Amino acid sequence: MPKQVAPDASRRSQTARRAILAAAFDLVGEVGYAKLSIEGIAAAAGVGKQTIYRWWPSKGALLFDAFLALTTEGEDGQTGALPDTGDLAADLKLVLRATVVELNDPRYDQPMRALHTEIVHDPALAADYAKRLDEPMRELKKDRLRAAQRAGQLAEDIDLDVAVDMLFGPVLNRWLQRTGPLNSEYADQVVDTALRGLRPREP
C-alpha cells in the first residue's frame, strides 16, 4: 500500500534520472554529507525538486541508487568472482588491498561515508543495502572461501559469514573511525591473523 499514488514508471524520464544520480554522487563528494541537500541536487541536475521526491522516498535511498547505478551501469567488470590462484592468503590479500585502495580513493570517500550513515539510521535502507549490495559481494567472497575449503585450505566447520566479517569488518571499521592507518600492511596483517588464529601454534 504505497502512501503516495504510484507514479507511472513507464513515462519516467531517464535523462532526469541519470542526471539526478550523477548530481547526487558528485555533490556529496564536493560538499560533503552534512551539506548535501535535495534542493542542491535538483539544481545541480537541472531538475525540479518534485522529480526527486516523486521517485525516491529519502535522501538515503537516492544515495543508494546513485551507488547502485555506478556499479551496475558502469564498466560492470566489477561483479566478477574473486581471484582464485590456489593460494588463499595471496588471493585474500589482493582483494583486501583493493578494498583499501578503493576506500582511500577521495572520489568515493564522501559518498561512501554518506551512504554508510544513511544505512546506520534507516533499517529499511539497511535491508535494501544488505540484499542488493552487501549480499552479492558477500556471496562472491563466500564462494572463494568455499573453494578454499574444497582445496583443504580452510577448515570445514567454519561459518563463512563469520569468516567474511572477520576479514572485511576490521578494514571497514578502521576506515570509518580512522582508528589507525589504513594501508596494505594492515590488510595483509588482517588476512594472516585471521587465517592463522590468535592461539599459539601447537608445538
Binding partner selected for residue 39 from DNA, a second copy, none, CB under the kind-specific 5 to 8 Å limit: DNA
Contact call for residue 169 and a second copy (CB under 8 A): yes
Residues within window 67-126 making contact with a second copy, judged by CB under 8 A: 113, 116-117, 119-121, 123, 126
Nearer to DNA, 38 or 137 (CB): 38
Contact call for residue 53 and a second copy (CB under 8 A): no
Shortest Cβ 3–a second copy spacing (Å):
17
Size of the site for a second copy (CB under 8 A): 51
Shortest Cβ 125–DNA spacing (Å):
14
Nearer to a second copy, 77 or 201 (CB): 201
Q: Print the binding letters for residues 17-46 with DNA: x by CB under 7 A, - otherwise.
A: x-x---------------x-xxxx-----x
Q: Which of 48, 83, 86, 180 binds DNA (CB under 7 A)?
A: 48
Contact call for residue 85 and DNA (CB under 7 A): no
Contact call for residue 170 and a second copy (CB under 8 A): yes
Residue 21: CB partners within 8 Å, gap ≥ 6?
Answer: 62, 65, 66, 69
